[in-house]
Structure 1
């Protein structure tokens, strides 16, 4: 409190005078910000499931007997993965982890999110390896100039979808728990929505990355990594780029998580 405020008795301007509680709450939000920011990259990687993964599946063998699998329907594998892993996580993973960590939930929220970020990197790696194999078949069969599917079953996409679903179990649920537990008591509802904000910004980041990759790789009349006909492109380079970005993001997250000072239980 300044001398002028003490003399006048006017303490109504919140921009000039704050309570200690408000100061501590702001410090909590500032500490949470780097952890929240790393979730944006994860959401950008997650967005590929409904975009580039579908484009990749369109140029693969979609026939299972007499039935053709719509490439966009492969996203249901993500849902199946979540349904499959949730009970396994609660019934098997948590009890085993509890014996080593001594925590009731098995992992801390920060550990859980870190595991999810690592798994998302594996998903991009799996997608890149599959695309390399697909492009090899394109060259072997002389289909580079044709936008036709190669004789490689779309079911080979299952690992990358499963890994994305597994990463969701760890990262998104970990985020919800983290923002709720670590947020100021009066701001829990607001902070619980931060994971949704990260997901929204992740989609914008995904669009930005795709736009920049398209712009930079098509200069000078080049075909680019992501042409209309993926048989003439290199989507595998995009997947490796996202895997590398995920790895860099994981390193930053690890540093931030180690330095993070948890809020005392209220």
Structure 2
């Protein structure tokens, strides 16, 4: 703990596009009075960076170059995860890392999962059906979320898994606030329960950081297998990938946030 954890959402928002590029353009506009060439250069650079920050092509290039993810599990990999029939108790578990909660969804009147978290849960449920392995979920309240006294993310996922997917979650970890805490608390919980092999489910862009955290916590006591999902797949081709879009803006921010988190040790 560094003492800065409660400020992570604010600092992250300030460090991600478009804020730095807007500040660069403001600086360029100011310099136009004394150094017009430098000011114009900064204005054009800021505009170009804002453009690139909203392109899916930028996100795909950044992910493949700076955040290469492990390949998805193949059919053979999934078959190899099936436990022996004679195994008295499961020693392998499919663990989902939470991706955020909605404190109170207006349409349902209760807390819900963010789309990223629901996508991870859905993929984990499918793996559980294919392998027969039990499910675990790690997620409490993020640093930027208000404690409204409602359910934690893991408890929401448990309810959705049983009600909507008809697949129970055996272990829930409800206190973690970030990836490091996901790893520390979940490894301890599952190791105590006799689990020695974790099949880790999260988005492909999050997997490198998640793997690092879980392997550091598990050491030699547990095996960690990556089960990435949600790879960036370009919706458009050719020049359309390099035109600004809401999808591109979101994907670029996701990749840059991951790089920032890795750079500061989170």
Structure index of larger Rg:
1
Normalised by the length of structure 1, the TM-score is 0.23
Bigger proportion of residues as strand:
2
